[in-house]
Structure 1
Amino acid sequence: MTQETVTAESREAPREPQAAGGPRRAPRIALCAAAGLIMYLAFPPNVLGPDEGGATGIWPLAPVGVALLALALRGLRPWAGALGGLVCGLFFFVPVLPGLRPIGTDVWLGLSLTEALYFAPMGAAMAYVSKTRLWPLWVAGLWVAQELVRGRVPLGGFPWARLAFSQTDTPYTAFAALGGAPLVSFATALTGTLLAFAVLAAAAKGLRTAALAVAGALAVPLVGLGVPTGSGGTGGSGTAAGESATVAVIQGNVPRSGMDFLGQRQAVLNNHIARTRELAAQVKAGEVPQPDLVVWPENASDLDPYNDPEARALIDAVVKEVGAPVLVGALTSTPDGTMVENRGIAWDPETGPGEYYTKRHPVPFGEYIPFRGVLTKIISRLDRVPRDFARGTQDNTLVMDGVPVGDVICFEVAYDGIVRDAAEARILVVQTNNATYGHTSLPWQQLAMSRLRAVEHDRTVLVAATSGISAIVAPDGTLIDRSREFTPDVQVASVPLRTSVTISDRLGGLPEWLLALVGVAGVGLALTARRRASRTGPGEAA
């Protein structure tokens, strides 16, 4: 081989940047850890505390965290990118999911590690595409792809802490009405990758390019501010004048927080009956208007009202007393008695229990035990779930006093498809039981999801929680009312009954798959470019 050939090959062959070497890898990993911590701060509750704006986090830190991760992984080999992604995921999920500690530290750390593992292939792919043109676009698509898989695999996935759920009341929120939560995540990530591109361009003294990248990063949220929301703004038919309903949300509270509340079934039911009687007294005294609909939370009655005559009589009496249909959250037995159903039951003051919705996505290890025969022999604590919860199959729209109500139970609010089905109704309800996770970040994060869903589907959202946080959310995502945790509360408000259909509703799950495909396409283009370079370089030199 001639000296000229050696020189040509060294000039043409693709080389890893020096930054991927060992001496400089440690600072990159540290930057990945910082990126995870910064993204965590974007999620509620924020540093001001729960009563000082805790419904939102420091939302601008979400794109900043993405930018830092993109900078840290830029030019690394895929295996190093996977390691950096894993580190980022650990430093993100461990602090964002501490609400699981009441179940067990092992559950909290185990789920955090499991969720962080999804960042590893994303990190590898981010590193791989980072030297191609348009890499900021590919990386934003990869973020959606990671969330798509994480929300489905395994056991139905766990789509908690998606980037979109940090953008509850921000310039990015309105993107939800166009492409749902996936488009919000994409827009947030794209801002971050464009910021990273600007930093790299400035470091290379490409000030004009850096300025254009900054302008692009700023343009994304500005476009979001320009997206019309509300009835008719995103392709809906609107709400006719005067079409509204007076709703009431009951928060009965529980005897104590943590797992121990489960042994106080009668007390929890009595608390919700007492608060509903309080509402009935206020109506009779003219202090509040007569509600058209009353909502109880998930697990308001852990006594099966179909099989427990006393529980049924108590509920029936208080529903008649308030004079309005009540959506009762109750645990019921399946006909054969082998499983439990988590139901929302439409209870009419005249006809009693009628239509119901059974939770379609039970919580693994909380409401059912996968591989029960094996795991219960290894982990004795799993015996606290003696019967698995059945998976519901019916539609989650219930008609109550002529009003279609879409019911979503607890962490189902994190699942796009389940909420989209419920949004076919005229008002959305989230029945939840956060007593186990009280005084942690989880109730706040669930409230943030509910607020984003209101904008996504142009619907009023009623959040009813046993111990908090209960809320009435307007279709534009603003809070009409919000409770404190572990405080009995009765919320009454007049809210619009929407009939609009947003662009997000019309497109369904398509935006998520298309945006994920953007990331996959970026990896494919990077792979094609590398193969072409490896083939043509030596050949041209020869």
Structure 2
Amino acid sequence: MLAQHTPRWLTLLFALSGGLLTDLGFPDTGIWLAAIAGVSLLYLALSRDAPWWNFLMGFVWGVVFFLKHIGWAQYAVGNVPWAALSVLEALFVAVVALVWTFVRRVPVVVRSRTLHVSAFAVLFVGAELARSSVPFGGFPWGRIAFSQAESPIGRLAWVAGMPLVSFAAVVVAVLLALGLAGIRRLDVLTFGTTIIVAAVIVAVGLIVPLDTRSEAGTLRVGAVQGNVAKGGLDAFDIRREVLDNHVQGTHALLEQVDPGYLDIVLWPENGTDIDPQVDAAAEAAIDGAARAVDAPLLLGAQEFPDDGGRYNVALLWEAGVGVVDRYAKQHPAPFAEYIPIRDLVRPFSDAVDLVHTDMLPGTTPGIITLESPRLERDVIVGDIICFEVAYDELVRESIQAGGELLVVQTNNASFGPTNESTQQLAMTQLRAIETGRTTIQISTVGVSAVVAPNGTIIERTGLFTTEQLVADVALRTSMTPAVVLGPWPARLVMLLALGLLVLAVVRRPTRDGRPSVPRPAVRTALATESSTR
């Protein structure tokens, strides 16, 4: 649908700058409009009707974006795993660019501006969903939706989750590119209509009814960010440091509240480096902390079953009783918590052997049942561990199973002073909107935060600091449309993306060596007619 006369060097420039600009839309910079503009540049970078050149441009955009966006992986595990993951994720963008070259030639897409814009968005979001699932369970980091936590578009998560947020953002990106086309041709009508439609899409989010009121009382929550002395993979090398820091942080809560005031105290993932179920000293320290505040602790630990492997678990600990409920992380991170195809990967990086014992997946939804004497009932706490916050179905399942608030327990120590934790916090904000639940992110080293059901950060900590949070949080039981719809928005996008691919194969127009010529109203800024054809 675009002319082939755009210079290759210019499309390459668009791809390079677009990848960098898109990353600026995510924390720590967090200029949400920059992510949209970066996708606009990707669209412009695909302006030549040359399938494999467009594949290359999509790959360049993807590599530049992911190398920058997940730079924290380089800090944590080194150059080879960081580069390999970036290249893998970039290939999904490259495939979008290749398929788009054929899809836009389909006559019905050529004739309709609406279909043209929607088709690009469907393919882009379809690729996001695909890479969130494969290989090895996928890697959702860098979805455009995750850049929109502070944008009106982000509020659409309440309606249909992350697929709708990404789709709306990409539609706006394409419309901005088409508006640029109007400026170049001095086409005031095209410029005006596309910009107005883009603005309306952004503004629609403002009318989404995000209710923050309590529906089932409030829960008095304390949260402990214990900190460790250093970041990186060896952050926990000092035995008991992280455990002792969180025990001390729990006692420090008594500077803000009296014993018995809190309904629950939250520790992060790996809040103890020693399993209190098998170590008497760890048991005594944790039980003493729970007695001191006179409240149950939800703490992160690891279990090592006798038959091998390990579990990343959240344990609800009552003083004098011990573990009364448990959740095991369902989605261990490949190449970080377990190593698939270990023997094949080892020749490329010996970092695989830093994971000595592979983590096993849990099999039940993330919920913890908390007995609350003050409320005179059981409270269902939705619980997500670390990277699980990026996976739509895991968050949704914990709410469908009855979660009245959402807790994200995470350990960000391995990533040092990078923006990994703030990227994760943006996801937490969007999950609060999507589920309509107060959401608490509690980290070993930060950033920790209490997030209202409308995505607003009520309170937050710093990075690599020792801090405690105390908050009365709203408990809610109603289901948002996004939770009710479940996986269907994602399934619809994937079905439409597959349909576009089939349509491109079976309905390719007869060509004479040139691309189909679109109506002037839908050309990009660089898709001008050549007077020398």
TM-score of the two chains, using structure 1 as the length reference? 0.88
2:304–2:310 CA contact under 8 A, matched in 1: yes
SS of the residue corresponding to residue 152 of structure 2 reads: coil
- Counting only pairs closer than 5 Å after superposition, residues 508-527 of structure 1 correspond to structure 2 as 508-527=486-505
Q: CA deviation at 1:333?
A: 0.7
Flag the 1:385–1:351 CA change in 2: closer, same or farther, 3 A: same
Residue 410 (str. 1) matches residue 386 (str. 2):
yes
Q: Which residue of 2 is the match for residue 4 of structure 1?
A: none
Partners in 1 of 2:2 and 2:179 — Cα distance? 21
Partners in 1 of 2:453 and 2:285 — Cα distance? 34
Equivalent of residue 13 in structure 2, options 13, 30, 35: 30
What amino acid maps onto 2:191 in structure 1?
A
SS of the residue corresponding to residue 200 of structure 2 reads: helix
Q: CA deviation at 1:520?
A: 3.6
Q: Which residue of 2 is the match for residue 119 of structure 1?
A: 93
- Counting only pairs closer than 5 Å after superposition, residues 175-194 of structure 1 correspond to structure 2 as 175-194=156-175
Deviations 1:44-68 (A, max 9, x none): 001xxxxxxxxxx011112211112
Residue 66 (str. 1) matches residue 39 (str. 2):
yes
Structure number with larger C-alpha Rg: 1
Q: Which residue of 2 is the match for residue 161 of structure 1?
A: 142
2:236–2:242 CA contact under 8 A, matched in 1: no
Partners in 1 of 2:416 and 2:303 — Cα distance? 24
- Counting only pairs closer than 5 Å after superposition, residues 100-249 of structure 1 correspond to structure 2 as 100-102=73-75, 103-131=77-105, 132=110, 133=112, 134-230=115-211, 239-240=214-215, 243-249=217-223
What amino acid maps onto 1:296 in structure 2?
W
What amino acid maps onto 1:228 in structure 2?
P
Partners in 1 of 2:202 and 2:99 — Cα distance? 26
What amino acid maps onto 1:98 in structure 2?
G
2:2–2:47 CA contact under 8 A, matched in 1: no
Q: Which residue of 2 is the match for residue 422 of structure 1?
A: 398
Identity of aligned residues (%): 39
Q: CA deviation at 1:207?
A: 2.7
Comparing 341-350 with 207-216, which one deviates more in the overlay?
A: 207-216
1:343–1:357 CA contact under 8 A, matched in 2: yes
Partners in 2 of 1:528 and 1:184 — Cα distance? 31
Q: Which residue of 2 is the match for residue 358 of structure 1?
A: 328
1:239–1:500 CA contact under 8 A, matched in 2: no
Partners in 2 of 1:521 and 1:197 — Cα distance? 24
Deviations 1:352-408 (A, max 9, x none): 211101111111121111123444466433222111111111221111122100110
2:436–2:453 CA contact under 8 A, matched in 1: yes
Partners in 2 of 1:198 and 1:393 — Cα distance? 49
2:226–2:249 CA contact under 8 A, matched in 1: yes
SS of the residue corresponding to residue 406 of structure 1 reads: strand
SS of the residue corresponding to residue 101 of structure 1 reads: helix
Partners in 1 of 2:66 and 2:366 — Cα distance? 31
SS of the residue corresponding to residue 257 of structure 2 reads: helix
Equivalent of residue 88 in structure 1, options 50, 54, 61: 61
1:138–1:521 CA contact under 8 A, matched in 2: no
What amino acid maps onto 2:333 in structure 1?
V
Partners in 2 of 1:380 and 1:126 — Cα distance? 38
Residue 298 (str. 1) matches residue 269 (str. 2):
yes
Q: Which residue of 1 is the match for residue 341 of structure 2?
A: 371
SS of the residue corresponding to residue 142 of structure 2 reads: coil
What residue ranges of structure 1 are gaps of 5+ in the alignment?
1-14, 47-56, 232-237, 535-542
Partners in 2 of 1:148 and 1:500 — Cα distance? 27
Partners in 1 of 2:72 and 2:12 — Cα distance? 27
Residue 393 (str. 1) matches residue 363 (str. 2):
yes
SS of the residue corresponding to residue 357 of structure 1 reads: strand
Q: CA deviation at 1:239?
A: 3.9
Partners in 2 of 1:475 and 1:333 — Cα distance? 36
Q: CA deviation at 1:350?
A: 4.4
Q: Report the aligned-residue RMSD.
A: 1.9
Q: Which runs of 4+ in 1 moved over 6 A?
A: none
TM-score of the two chains, using structure 2 as the length reference? 0.89
Residue 490 (str. 1) matches residue 468 (str. 2):
yes
What amino acid maps onto 1:86 in structure 2?
F
Flag the 1:101–1:16 CA change in 2: closer, same or farther, 3 A: closer
Q: Which residue of 2 is the match for residue 255 of structure 1?
A: 229
Q: Which residue of 2 is the match for residue 450 of structure 1?
A: 428
SS of the residue corresponding to residue 236 of structure 2 reads: helix
